[in-house]
Amino acid sequence: METFKDRVVLIESVGDDIGYAIAAMLAFKGAKLAVLDVNGKNTVDMVSRLKEIGVEAYGVTADSADCTGAKQAIASVMEKYGRIDILVNNSDLIVKSEIGNTKAQNWHQGAKTNIDPAYFMCREVIPIMRKQSYGRIINMGSVEYLGLPNTSIYSAAKSSMLGFTRSLALETAKDNITVNWVVKGTIQSSDMSEEQVEKLAARIPVKKLGTPDDVAGAVSFFAAETSKFITGQTFFVCGGKSLSFSMSI
In tens digits, the chain (249 residues) has pLDDT values of: 678 998 999 999 988 899 999 999 999 999 999 999 999 999 999 999 999 999 999 999 999 999 999 999 999 999 999 999 999 999 887 766 677 777 777 777 777 888 999 999 999 999 999 999 999 999 999 887 887 777 778 888 888 999 999 999 999 999 999 999 999 988 888 788 888 888 888 888 889 999 999 999 999 999 999 999 999 999 999 888 887 765 444
Smallest Cα–Cα separation from 124: which of 201, 55, 69? 69
Predicted model pTM: 0.93
| Listed residue (65, 60, 69, 22) closest to 42, CA to CA | 60
Domain 8-238, CATH class in plain words: alpha beta
The answer for residues whose C-beta is within 8 angstroms of residue 14's C-beta and 6 or more apart is 20, 23, 35, 36, 37, 42, 43, 46, 90
